[in-house]
């Protein structure tokens, strides 16, 4: 090298500034907490305790601790644990860790200091190491050192105890100088809300491990598994409801990629939790509170598991047929894959988020179309059955029947069916009862018989696959109108209007009410036009239907005026 040559040297990393900038590496609270929980699980822990320590006055979180009874950390690698890029499992695909940055960046995203205390398995000594951003910034900490200490810190030592006494081995992780969990004002999320979401995250993300015996606690409260598919045991449901119901698997499949399986399942939550349309997943069949099951949160979301640990629970754009439907909250979708397929799900180093690559997304979308449609149809069918059953008991048509009965006192008497023999009359009534599903219900049968006897016109709800809107049976001058609730007019117009009428004023959604009213108005127009088209199918409608039109207008006027009087 010539004397005139000049060399310029710089550190590969400006450590203090880099650590500060890495604090915004993409971790939210749940993702950050997940990293040390992952490490504890990898360390064969059967007990993992997560605790937050809050300021007495401000209630801001000042410290977060993680304690486990895993096999601990050997002293020769302890100092390296807080070194960015170091991992004993770097690049491994068999467990939850892989990248060598998770624990460090997760801690720094929340706190300015991280301490690790550990008692390795088979070693009675306790070892300690730490990383402090303030000391790094001042130049007081240039290296990460591990040293032997006499005991665990007094404030947290009790966390390393179980029902059988002190843990024989384990690790205590302390995040202190926490500066990212403070009260954020009127428009911010409260600390309590964040901790509630954290509980939900732990319950869902580690559900398979908890179901297999892992114990996780958050601030002393045991985390119970939350399964969007309702396949795993749910102790909280057993405790609160006295029963733990399982969901129904609609379909499942395995997609093989490079010899590795991607398992896909679609399920419906238990019918008792989705018994009536409009309950919203917040009350069960018996109107008991089931908000703890978090069913509404499931709407349109897909749970993606990597090596059994959930890394994604959210919407996947353009994945469901015709987009997300409100009733999708009752449908559980789970995609499970091994870490060998990380590239196909574009897994991020924060292990929070997954996005299937284009070809895999297309295959998943095409497969999901059939079971999701089937689940939606099943929901609507079962809700329709319940509506019909409850409608019979609730006397849905009573107000209209009352108005018609009053108007009929001064109207001409009906003449159809006056010549029916007694035996045929009884048979027709039996057939009507069977169509209405009352033939096996003595109370319902007697009620309908009384209605037919007392009323000049009786409405009966029924359901059949034909295209008829209704059928009419004439008996001794009376008319029995059998409504086909399977007809689109009832499903798309009548039933939404009836559901709207059943709501209390305070629960009404104004825009939804306007939409239903507009659809109903248009449907009435269509109903008139469909009648006109029906006449138009005959060669001489004027001769054939003149009396029908006149009578229809006459009786509609009388019935509507009486209905208005009834209010």
Determine the pLDDT at residue 94: 46
CATH tag for 15-222 (out of 3.30.565.10, 3.30.70.2190, 3.30.70.1290, 3.40.1710.10): 3.30.565.10
Does CATH number 2.60.40 belong to domain 235-381?
A: no
* Euclidean distance between CA atoms 418 and 457, whole angstroms: 15
Average pLDDT of the chain? 86
* Euclidean distance between CA atoms 396 and 515, whole angstroms: 22
Determine the pLDDT at residue 398: 80
Looking at the chain, the whole-number percentage of residues with pLDDT higher than 70 is 86
How does pLDDT run across 260-273, given as a tens digit for each residue?
999 999 999 999 99
Question: Crossing angle, helix 541-566 and helix 510-536, to 10 degrees?
Answer: 150
Determine the pLDDT at residue 17: 63
Determine the pLDDT at residue 92: 46
How does pLDDT run across 50-82, given as a tens digit for each residue?
999 998 888 889 999 999 999 999 999 998 888
Q: What would the DSSP string read from start to end of 106-121?
A: HHHTTEEEEEEEEE-T
Judging by DSSP bridges, how do beta strands 331-337 and 260-268 pair with one another? Answer: antiparallel
Output the pTM of the full model: 0.68
Q: What would the DSSP string read from start to end of 182-240?
A: ----TTSPPHHHHHHHHHHHHHHHTHHHHHTT-EEEETTEEP----TTS-S--HHHHHH
- What Å distances lie between residue 422 and 346, 417, 549, CA to CA? 76, 11, 32
Determine the pLDDT at residue 95: 45
Determine the pLDDT at residue 22: 63
Residue 350 has pLDDT above 60, yes or no: no
Residue 393 has pLDDT above 60, yes or no: no
Residue 132 has pLDDT above 50, yes or no: yes
DSSP-assigned letter for residue 60: -
Determine the pLDDT at residue 178: 92
Determine the pLDDT at residue 59: 85
Lowest mean pLDDT, pick from 24-38, 271-285, 311-325: 24-38
How does pLDDT run across 159-208, given as a tens digit for each residue?
999 988 999 999 999 999 998 787 665 545 688 889 999 999 999 999 99
Average pLDDT over residues 237-252: 95
Specify whether the CB–CB gap between 354 and 346 falls below 8 A: yes
How does pLDDT run across 481-491, given as a tens digit for each residue?
888 888 989 88
Domain with CATH 3.30.565.10 in the chain: 15-222
Reading across the β-sheet that carries 457-462, which strands appear in turn?
A: 457-462, 478-484, 470-475
Domain with CATH 3.30.230 in the chain: 235-381
How does pLDDT run across 90-103, given as a tens digit for each residue?
444 444 444 334 78
Q: Which residues sit opposite 313 in a β-bridge?
A: 303
């Amino acid at each position: 090298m010539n004397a005139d040559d000049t060399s310029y040297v710089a550190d590969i990393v400006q450590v203090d500034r880099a650590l500060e900038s890495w604090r915004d590496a993409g971790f939210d609270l749940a993702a950050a907490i997940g990293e040390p929980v992952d490490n504890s699980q990898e360390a064969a822990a059967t007990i993992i305790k997560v605790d937050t320590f809050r300021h007495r006055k401000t209630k801001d979180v000042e410290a977060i601790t993680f304690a486990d009874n895993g096999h601990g950390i050997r002293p020769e690698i302890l100092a390296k644990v807080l070194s960015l890029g170091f991992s004993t499992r770097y690049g491994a695909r068999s467990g939850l860790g892989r990248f060598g940055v998770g624990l460090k960046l997760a801690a720094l995203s929340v706190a300015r200091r991280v301490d690790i205390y550990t008692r390795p398995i088979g070693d009675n000594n306790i070892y300690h190491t730490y990383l402090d951003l303030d000391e790094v910034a001042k130049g007081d900490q240039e290296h990460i050192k591990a040293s032997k200490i006499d005991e665990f810190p007094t404030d947290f030592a009790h966390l390393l105890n179980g029902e059988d006494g002190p843990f024989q081995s384990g690790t205590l992780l302390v995040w202190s100088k926490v500066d990212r969990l403070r009260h954020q004002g009127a428009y911010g999320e409260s600390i309590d809300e964040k901790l509630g979401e954290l509980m939900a995250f732990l319950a869902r993300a580690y559900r398979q491990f908890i179901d297999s015996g892992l114990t996780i606690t958050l601030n002393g409260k045991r985390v119970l598994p939350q399964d969007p598919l309702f396949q795993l045991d749910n102790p909280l449901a057993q405790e609160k409801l006295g029963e733990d119901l399982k969901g129904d698997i609609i379909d499942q499949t395995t997609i093989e990629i490079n010899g590795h399986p991607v398992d896909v399942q679609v399920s419906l939550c238990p019918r008792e939790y989705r018994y009536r349309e409009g309950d919203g997943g917040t009350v069960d069949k018996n109107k008991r509170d089931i908000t703890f099951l978090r069913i509404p949160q499931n709407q349109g979301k897909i749970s993606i598991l990597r090596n059994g640990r959930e890394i994604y629970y959210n919407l996947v754009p353009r994945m469901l047929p015709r987009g997300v439907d409100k009733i999708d909250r009752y449908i559980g979708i789970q995609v499970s894959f091994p870490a060998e397929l990380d590239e196909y799900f574009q897994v991020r180093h924060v292990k929070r988020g997954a996005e299937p690559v284009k070809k895999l997304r297309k295959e998943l979308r095409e497969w999901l179309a059939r079971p999701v449609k089937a689940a939606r149809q099943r929901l609507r069918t079962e809700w329709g059955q319940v509506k019909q059953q409850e409608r019979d008991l609730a006397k849905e048509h009573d107000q209209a029947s009352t108005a018609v009965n009053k108007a009929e006192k001064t109207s001409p008497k009906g003449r159809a069916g006056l010549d029916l023999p007694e035996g045929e009359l009884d048979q027709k009534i039996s057939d009507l009862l069977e169509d209405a599903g009352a033939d096996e219900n003595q109370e319902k049968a007697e009620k309908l018989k009384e209605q037919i006897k007392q009323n000049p016109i009786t409405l009966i709800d029924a359901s059949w696959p034909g295209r008829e809107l209704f059928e009419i049976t004439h008996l001794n001058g009376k008319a029995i109108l059998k409504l086909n609730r399977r007809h689109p007019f009832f499903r798309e117009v009548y039933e939404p209007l009836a559901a709207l009428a059943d709501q209390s004023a305070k629960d009404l959604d104004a825009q939804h009410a306007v939409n239903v009213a507009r659809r109903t108005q248009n449907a009435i127009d269509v109903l008139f036009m469909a009648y006109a088209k029906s006449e138009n199918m005959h060669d001489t409608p004027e001769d054939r239907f003149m009396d029908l039109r006149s009578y229809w207008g006459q009786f509609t006027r009388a019935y509507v005026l009486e209905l208005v009087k009834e209010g």
